[in-house]
Amino acid sequence: MTRTWTRLLSALATGALAVGLTACGSSNPLTPASTTAGGADNTIVVGSADFTENVLLAEIYAGALRGAGAKVTVKPRVGTREALVKGLQDKSLGVVPEYSGNLLAYLDKSATQTTPDEVYTALKAKVPSGLTVLQQSQAEDSDVLVVTQQTATQNNLATVEDLGPKCGDYVFGAAGEWKQRWEAKIKQLYGCTFKEIRTTDAGGPVTVEALKGGQVQVANLFTTASAIKANGFVQLKDTKRMYPAQNVVPFGRTDALGEAAAAALNKVSAALTTDKLTALVARVEVDKENAADVAADFLRDSGIPS
């Protein structure tokens, strides 16, 4: 009898302890994921596209999330936007750094918005169920047409409007998809028809070398590209907003990003500017510093825990 009561009391005590531990842990089904930094299991996978700036932004996001108490894994260079969105939807990723205009165009092929606020508002309305965009940053990495300083000076080029009537004299270099996406648009807005559109790469070294070497006279780069300043290239102002705004914005799963995580990423967005991002990218691309170290410096200098 005594042994039976002892077993019963022991079982009751063990059950009470288990209930207490469950109530205190994040696995409690009554505790919403939004009260933790990383959702129900406090873990977030941060993915990135396959280029330096996006890898750097992923490291910045990861550091901020760790500072908010989340367990974080970084999965760099996942691939294309299609791969990143698939990763969010199949839950192999938790959050990725995105660009407002391109993401909107991916989600809504008929989108016509161009200004930062218009693009961001339209984007929020098009985000699929289960996914979310957090606050966008002032930092913008948009497409830009560039020429050498010599070409700009000799032909009085400061804007795409200046370029328009002279496009027939120039060979243009850009990624393969540029022709399909923008050839008709630049003709419509600026009356620009290039002598030839030559496929180079997506704002990378092939495009830069082609412009430097004179194989192309106009090229499509990105506003944060370190090669623009390093080579003294002149950015032609897109006065008629052919290219939509491309503000950096966190794009993730609602079930992976709790209140603390969202707040941490919003702090990153508030601290990022185009000038800061350009300088950070140059440290990785030009100075060959480690992206995680550069990210840590940015977070420290911005007063964001990491």
Q: Each residue of 155-184: pLDDT tens digit?
A: 999 999 999 999 999 999 999 989 998 999
Could you give the C-alpha distances from 223 to 181, 193, 278, in angstroms and in order?
A: 19, 23, 8
Q: Does residue 13 carry a pLDDT above 60?
A: no
pLDDT band for 25, please (50, 70, 90 cuts).
very low
Assigned token pair, 162:
């200046």
Instruction: Tell me the HSE value of 184 on the side-chain side, using a 13 A CA sphere.
Output: 3
Average pLDDT, integer, range 73-79: 96
Other beta carbons within 10 angstroms of residue 53's beta carbon come to 25
Q: What is the mean pLDDT of residues 246-258?
A: 97
- Is the pLDDT at 9 greater than 90, yes or no? no
Does the structure show a pLDDT above 60 at 35? no
Q: Which of 282, 174, 160, 298 is nearest to 229 (CA)?
A: 282
| pLDDT band, very low/low/confident/very high, at 21 (cuts 50, 70, 90) | very low
Pick the CATH number of 143-236 from 1.10.150.530, 3.40.190.10, 1.10.3660.10, 3.40.190.120: 3.40.190.120
CATH architecture of 35-140+245-301: 3-Layer(aba) Sandwich (3.40)
105 residue type, one letter: A
- Average pLDDT on 199-225 reads 96
Whether pLDDT at 127 is above 90 = yes
Q: Which residues contact 50 (CB under 8 A, 6 or more apart)?
A: 77, 78, 79, 80
> What tokens were used for 160?
């795409």
Residue 210: the pLDDT is 98
Mean pLDDT of 197-215: 95
User: 90-115 pLDDT, tens per residue?
Assistant: 999 999 999 999 999 999 999 999 99
Beta strands in 151-287 (DSSP E): 171-174, 196-199, 218-222, 234-236, 248-253
Q: What is the pLDDT of residue 6?
A: 41
- Token code pair at residue 271: 């601290």
* Residues constituting the chain: 306
Tell me the average pLDDT across 51-66. Answer: 96
Structure tokens at 299: 């977070």
With pLDDT > 90 as the criterion, what percentage of the chain qualifies? 83
pLDDT recorded at residue 117: 97
pLDDT over 80 (residue 38): no
35-140+245-301 matches 143-236 in fold: yes
Mean pLDDT on 185-207:
96
- pLDDT class for 202, splitting at 50, 70, 90? confident
Every domain of the chain and the residues it spans = 35-140+245-301, 143-236
Task: Determine the Cα–Cα distance for residues 40 and 257; give it in Å rounded to an integer.
Answer: 9
Hey, how many other C-beta atoms are within 10 angstroms of the C-beta on 179?
15
Average pLDDT, the chain: 89
Do the beta carbons of residue 48 and residue 79 sit within 8 Å?
Answer: no
Q: Report if pTM > 0.85.
A: no
Q: What is the pLDDT of residue 43?
A: 83
**Residue in 173, 184, 163, 256 with CA at minimum distance from that of residue 215:** 173
Query: How far apart are the C-alpha atoms of 239 and 229, rounded to whole Å?
Result: 21
